[in-house]
Amino acid sequence: MNFREIIDLIESAKLDSPVYRIKRYLDTKEKKFVYVFLSTRTRDEVTLDATERFYREYGSIWNIDNPEHVAQVIKPVAFYRVKANNLYRISVEYKDIPETLDELLEMPGVGIKVAKVFLAEMGYDYVGVDTHVHRIVNRIGIIHTDNPRDTDIILNRIVPKSLRRHVNVHLVALGQTICRARSPRCEICPIQRHCRYFLNRS
Ligand code: SF4
């Protein structure tokens, strides 16, 4: 599978996707972390609104003083009370956001998806696997897995290192605009010639 060509085709399609706009807003390491931390099981627009409210209110994780209030600020992201408590713990237990997978996975509320998406945002060689990435690589036929955890393990092995950090953002862009969960718009998809789902349908 030519990962380079797939990523280049999506990039050059210049999709009007929220993820590209959000990326421009995430201009500091801490904002990248907070956005990704809040994003689990939550739509991108809701996560972005919550991240903006969080920064208007506090300016930094390290200014948090009351987890109950954080919960009200980040509501309605999924599990907002749990996330607020974990952000509070991070503000107390950490002085900076770590940049290694092992250290990130020790933080409260940080799982493999959050850790790898954040590290990819920071320019490290990881594929961050969320529902978009999991769905699309299975549709294309690159892999055949039942769950994002297996997808994560395989993609982080088979995607060339230099491309790993680019996979999440471009596949999310494709997933938000064209390869939607329901009714994928295959007729206008920039990577249709690489896609087994499309080729089998044609
Ligand atoms: S051709 Fe269709 S199924 Fe394949 S990646 Fe594009 S939109 Fe998704």
Q: In the chain, which stretches have pLDDT less than 70?
A: 1
Query: What pLDDT does 23 receive?
Result: 86
Query: What pLDDT does 169 receive?
Result: 95
Residue 198 lies in a domain: no
Atom of ligand 1 nearest to the CA of 189: 6
Query: What pLDDT does 97 receive?
Result: 98
Total structural domains within the chain = 1
Cβ atoms of residues 47 and 35 within 8 Å: yes
Query: What pLDDT does 202 receive?
Result: 72
Residue 201 lies in a domain: no
Residue 19 lies in a domain: yes
Ligand 1 atom 2: residue of nearest CA = 186
3 lines ligand 1 (CB under 6 A): no
Residue 199 lies in a domain: no
Nearest to 90 by CA among 122, 54, 126: 54
- End-to-end CA separation in angstroms for the chain: 20
The alpha carbon of 188 and the centre of ligand 1 are apart by a number of angstroms equal to 9
Residue-range definition of the domain harbouring residue 57 = 3-192
Query: What pLDDT does 1 receive?
Result: 67
Atom of ligand 1 nearest to the CA of 198: 1
Residues 6 or more apart in contact with residue 126 via CB below 8 angstroms? 101, 116, 119, 120, 156, 164, 165
Query: What pLDDT does 114 receive?
Result: 97
The alpha carbon of 174 and the centre of ligand 1 are apart by a number of angstroms equal to 9
Residue 182 lies in a domain: yes
The alpha carbon of 186 and the centre of ligand 1 are apart by a number of angstroms equal to 5
CATH number at residue 172: 1.10.340.30
The alpha carbon of 142 and the centre of ligand 1 are apart by a number of angstroms equal to 12
Query: What pLDDT does 2 receive?
Result: 87
Query: What pLDDT does 153 receive?
Result: 97
Residue 87 lies in a domain: yes
Query: What pLDDT does 95 receive?
Result: 96
The alpha carbon of 172 and the centre of ligand 1 are apart by a number of angstroms equal to 13
Residue 200 lies in a domain: no
